Structures are given as structure tokens and as C-alpha cells.
A and B are shown apart, each in its own frame.
Chain A
Amino acid sequence: MATVTIIALDGLIFASWLFLVSAGLTLVYGVLRVLNIAHGSLYALGAYTAATLVIAYSHRGLWPPGTLAVLPLAAVVVGAAVGPLVERGILQRIYAREQILQLLATFALFLILEDAVKLIWGPSPYYAYRPYALLGQVRLGGVVYPVYSFLLVLVALSAGALLWLFVTRSRFGRLVQAVIHDPEISTTLGINLSRVYVLTFSLGAALAALGGAFTAPMISVVPGIAVEVIVVAFAVVVIGGLGSLPGAAVGALLIGLVRAAAIHLVPVLELFTIYVVMAVVLLARPHGLFPPPEVRRI
């Protein structure tokens, strides 16, 4: 198979993963105006929860394909359990403060969750390979791909599409858009702002956990997986324009393709691709590719 095709395929697979782990971040920023550093921790929580569920499920010896259904369940669990807790407990108290303080508050939350994960699940790795092994491999033009990778693409595509439909078509989505547009006017129109905030944040947390849950079968789930994801997700979101869902998709594709190209052509550069793409995009467009319009206050 031509290198170009391999790069395109690898890029697409990596881009899907990138989109999954960053969509929630951009959604939360778009509505709450908080750049959530703890997003990576939510991803880790999703991965650990999924690993626990998969292992527990497989030990029962139940119907094997069920392990795949367990993965989204982990996302729901994390979103419903941690989302409201964090929004109500911490974020709600600091919306009025400087954006920088909000950034630091989520950094503090990241530190807390980092140890909490270690205290709950311990330092040893978890292997939740069953869903990955279950799907087997496929040979495409001489290159072997795990079928699971294509499932990842499917999950990312459907998550993106559903999210987009939800935000643009559903009633709640329209309320969310009104809040994005102008929180103050929305309250005067009778929109329950704090409800929109808590639901959006929980949705974002569930998305982060979904990314983690679908990553868990591909990796050994160990402490420290949160740290790397945060920076990557930031890069994707900043490239796309903070708060823009299509932007996150484009950013993910851009990074995915460039990274795949780097791996195949100049492997030494692999580690830098994300940051180089981010720096170049920010140089040309200081607010990312699709920044939501912003008012300049004098």
C-alpha cells in the first residue's frame, strides 16, 4: 500500500482518538468559559472505570461482545457521578473570578484527582484488552490493522455527529447556544443558567470519560495517563478555536495527519508535531482556526 494511504489511515485513526479526548474540553469551554485542566483526569477516571468494568464483566464469563457495551457505560458513570460534583462543588463558586484563577482551580482539581486515582486503583496497571482482542485484525493492502482502531473511528464520528445534532437541533442544545451567546440575557429570558452549566459540564466530563473508556483496551491503564492527554487535548482545542466543535474536529484531523506523516517520514519529529502545528496555526490565526466571535471591552 502506498505510504500516502497508510499515512491517511493512521492519521484518521489518531485524529479520531484526538477528537474523542478533546470534544468535551471545547464544549465545556464554549459554554462555561473555563478551560478545564482536569479534563485529562476525567479521561483517566473513564479509563480506570472502563478497565474495572471490563475486567469484572469478563470474569463473570458473560457474553463476550458485551465487553464493548460496557465501555460507554463507564462514560455515563463518570459523567453522572463526577460532573455535577465538580461543577457544583468548585466551578460554580468561581465563574465570576478571573479566567486565570479558574484555570488554576482546575489545575488543583487535576492534582487532587491524580492522587485520588492512585488511592482508589493503586499503582499497578490494569489490562482491559478483551474488547480489543475480541475484534481481531484486518489486513489492508499488506498492512495489518486492529479492527478496534476502526471502531474508534466509528465512535468518534458518531459521538461528533450526535453532539452536533444535540447542540443544534434539540431544545436543550438551543438553550445552550443562547447561553453561549449571552449568559445574562439568557437568564432574563428564563433560562436556568446553573442547570445548563451543570448539565453541560457533566456532558463534557462524560465525553472525556468516553475517550478514556475507549482508550483503555488499547493501553495498560496506569497512573499518569492523565498528564499527557491534557496537553494534547489543549493543542487540538486551541488549534480549532476554543469553544468550537467543528474546530476541534479539524484540529484533530490536522494534528492526526501531520503526526502520522511525521512518524512515517521523519520519526524523530513525532514528539514535536503537536506543538509545532499548534505554534504555526496560532502564528497565522492567533485565536485558532474557528474562533467564536468575541466582543472587545474597552
Chain B
Amino acid sequence: MTAGRWAGPLAFLVLALLGRTLPGWLVFVLTLALAKGLVVMGVMLLMRVGLVSFGHGLFFAGAAYAAGFAMKLWGMREAALLVAIGVLAAVVLGGVSGLLAARYREIFFAMLTLAFSMVLYGVLIKAYAVTGGSDGLRVPVPTILGLQVRPEQGRLAVYYVTLLSVAVAVAVVLRYWNAPLGYLMQAIRDNEVRVAYLGGPVSRAVYFTYVLSSALGGLGGVLVALSVGHIDPNLAYWTTSGEFVFVALLGGTGGVHAPLAGAVVYELLKSYAFKYTPYAWQLLMGTAMLAVILLLPGGLWAPLQRAVRRQHP
């Protein structure tokens, strides 16, 4: 695994350099992709436990709006603080909703999380005075560690904030992945009852994964808010959550890098599909999704991993 150890930092370095060389729109797409990739990472963690969240929009929008409120009501502009506020809001949302949701499995879990996110959607639409209803809120360019950012550099600044957040998130998730509790994830997915009989802390592992996953969802939400510069209730709509599940499936649950790679592929695919077939891009995405489900059960990475394994048995 010596190559694997360097792959992460190397990819990180390449991405950092790319920020300077790529055209602006591509940097923007990359920012969005990485930010959404964090949410997808959260969805993927839950998938490892065998749970599919159709309501990550709850944390995604919750965090984005928490940051939006902090900007609107307290005039807060500092990116680091906004990110912290967003993640905190998501953890609170996850901590509370998890008390209920983490007790459910399979479709009931999916439906319950979906219901939670749709309640938030309803609140955001109805509380017009605070949230601006379906118009949403504007999110101005933040300051970075107290430094003013010129508007034309805002995009690049948010890109680096995102990149840094991704690095931190990957480190945290990897730590969990390789911890005893993290190893339980796959075991629970394979046979939960057996794990419980063996004395494994099933409910603790599920709850912890759920909260960690919500924190990732929140982190992604704030970053998307900062990069797009605008938030609206659609962030909480169930189709947004469905998109995350789709990307998680695209990437597979094979590793921490999978959701990020899946998100980049998806976001690029989507922008091209949208550009060339504005009326049929959902059709294209749906077809791609079906193809992945029917032909590539382990996600885009699975055939690659198999190929690597064949060469280095």
C-alpha cells in the first residue's frame, strides 16, 4: 500500500495546482463537485452500513441556511467561521434526527430521512420572512481568515477553502474507516443481527456513522453555498438527495476517494449533458444510472480495482 499512501496527498497537490491553471468555469465545476463529493462521502458511509439516506438534503440545506443566516443576521463574513457554523448546525440536525432515524433500516430509513428533509423544505418555503421563501438568500463573497477577497478572486478562494475542507474531511473519515467502529460498518451491512449477537455495538456504530455522515453533508452544503453565492429551498428537496445517492452509487463504496471521484465525473457529465441536451439531460443521467446498476454492480471503481488486483495478486 505504499503507492496508496502517496496517492492522496499527490492528488491534493495536483488539484491545488489545477486551481491556478484551469479556466474559471472549470474551477467552479470542480469546487461544486468536490463540495458535493463530501456530501456523497457521507451518503456512502451510510451505504457501508447498508442504509440509504434519501434525505441528505436536510444537512446540505440546513448547513447552507445556517451559514446564510449567520451572514444575513449577524453580518458574519469569515469563511472558517461559516464552515464551522454550518457543520455544527448539521451535527445538531443529525444528532437529533439520528436518535429516531438510526433505529430504522432499509426502506423505512430511506423514507424517514426523506420525510425529515421535506419538513425542512417546507419550513424554508413557508418561513418567508427569514428565509426569503422560494427566492432563497444571497450569499456574498466571504473573507478568508480575516483577509478581504476581491470579488473576481472569490471563486478561486472558495476553491481553496473547499480543497482544504476536503483534505480535513478525508483525514477524519479515513481515521474512522480504519478504527474498530469503522470496521463494524461492513459487518453490520452483511448481517446486523449476527453482529449484535457477537456483542458488537450496532446502534452506537449506526448512530455515530449517521452523525458523521450528517456533518459531511453540512460541510458540503456550506461550501456549495459559498461557491454558488445563493441558496434556495431546493437544496432540501428530495431530488437533490436522490442525486447524492446516485453519485454515491456511481462511485461505489470501495473507498474514501470513490465519492469524490464519482462527484467529479458526475458534475462534468452533468454540465456537458446539460450543455448539449438541455431537454434530455435527466434522461441521459437516468440511463447512465441504470447502466451502472445493471452492468457495474460495484460502481465505476470496481472494474478498475479488479484489473489492479489481477495484475498484483
In the complex the two chains form, is A283's CB within 8 Å of B287's CB? no
B213 vs chain A, min Cβ distance (A): 15
Give the distance in Å from the alpha carbon of A29 to the alpha carbon of B123 in the complex: 31
- 1/0 contact trace for B279-308 toward A, CB 8 Å? 111110111011001100100000000000
Chain A residues, CB < 8 A from B175: none
B291 vs chain A, min Cβ distance (A): 9
Known contacts A111-B289, A112-B283, A112-B287; is-contact A227 B239 (Cβ 8 Å): yes
B4 vs chain A, min Cβ distance (A): 28
Chain B residues, CB < 8 A from A180: none
Does B16 sit within 8 A of A, measured CB to CB?
no
In the complex the two chains form, is A108's CB within 8 Å of B293's CB? yes
Chain A residues, CB < 8 A from B276: none
Known contacts A35-B107, A103-B107; is-contact A275 B286 (Cβ 8 Å): no
- 1/0 contact trace for A135-156 toward B, CB 8 Å? 0000000000000000000000
Does A130 sit within 8 A of B, measured CB to CB?
no
Contact of A115 among B103, B111, B114, B281 (CB under 8 A): B281
In the complex the two chains form, is B286's CB within 8 Å of A298's CB? no
Residue of chain A at shortest CB distance from B122: A271
In the complex the two chains form, is A115's CB within 8 Å of B246's CB? no
Give the distance in Å from the alpha carbon of A290 to the alpha carbon of B132 in the complex: 41
Interface residues of A in 92-132 (CB under 8 A from B): 93-94, 97, 99-101, 103-105, 107-112, 114-116, 118-119
Known contacts A101-B293, A275-B122; is-contact A235 B246 (Cβ 8 Å): no
A104 vs chain B, min Cβ distance (A): 6
In the complex the two chains form, is B107's CB within 8 Å of A94's CB? no
Contact of A104 among B108, B115, B246, B287 (CB under 8 A): B246
A93 vs chain B, min Cβ distance (A): 6
Chain A residues, CB < 8 A from B280: 115, 119
Interface residues of B in 100-148 (CB under 8 A from A): 100, 103-104, 106-108, 110-112, 114-116, 118-119, 122-123, 125-126
Give the distance in Å from the alpha carbon of A197 to the alpha carbon of B176 in the complex: 43
Known contacts A234-B114, A271-B125, A272-B122; is-contact A104 B249 (Cβ 8 Å): yes
Contact of B107 among A99, A107, A268, A297 (CB under 8 A): A99
Chain A residues, CB < 8 A from B125: 271
Give the distance in Å from the alpha carbon of A297 to the alpha carbon of B192 in the complex: 10
Does B194 sit within 8 A of A, measured CB to CB?
yes
Known contacts A231-B238, A275-B122; is-contact A286 B246 (Cβ 8 Å): no
Give the distance in Å from the alpha carbon of A118 to the alpha carbon of B280 in the complex: 8
In the complex the two chains form, is B282's CB within 8 Å of A287's CB? no
In the complex the two chains form, is A99's CB within 8 Å of B106's CB? yes
In the complex the two chains form, is B287's CB within 8 Å of A108's CB? yes
Does B74 sit within 8 A of A, measured CB to CB?
no
In the complex the two chains form, is B115's CB within 8 Å of A242's CB? no
In the complex the two chains form, is B115's CB within 8 Å of A278's CB? yes
Chain B residues, CB < 8 A from A104: 52, 245-246, 249, 289, 293
Residue of chain B at shortest CB distance from A271: B122
- 1/0 contact trace for A259-298 toward B, CB 8 Å? 0000000001001100110110011001100000000111
In the complex the two chains form, is A115's CB within 8 Å of B293's CB? no
In the complex the two chains form, is A90's CB within 8 Å of B290's CB? yes
Contact of A275 among B50, B106, B115, B279 (CB under 8 A): B115
A154 vs chain B, min Cβ distance (A): 30
Interface centre among A37, A110, A115 (most CB of B within 10 A): A115
B120 vs chain A, min Cβ distance (A): 10
A to B CB contacts below 8 Å, 9 in the list: A90-B294, A97-B293, A107-B246, A107-B289, A112-B286, A268-B126, A276-B119, A279-B112, A282-B112
Q: Which residues does A use to contact B, with CB under 8 Å?
A: 35, 37, 90, 93-94, 97, 99-101, 103-105, 107-112, 114-116, 118-119, 227, 231, 234-235, 238, 242, 268, 271-272, 275-276, 278-279, 282-283, 286-287, 296-298
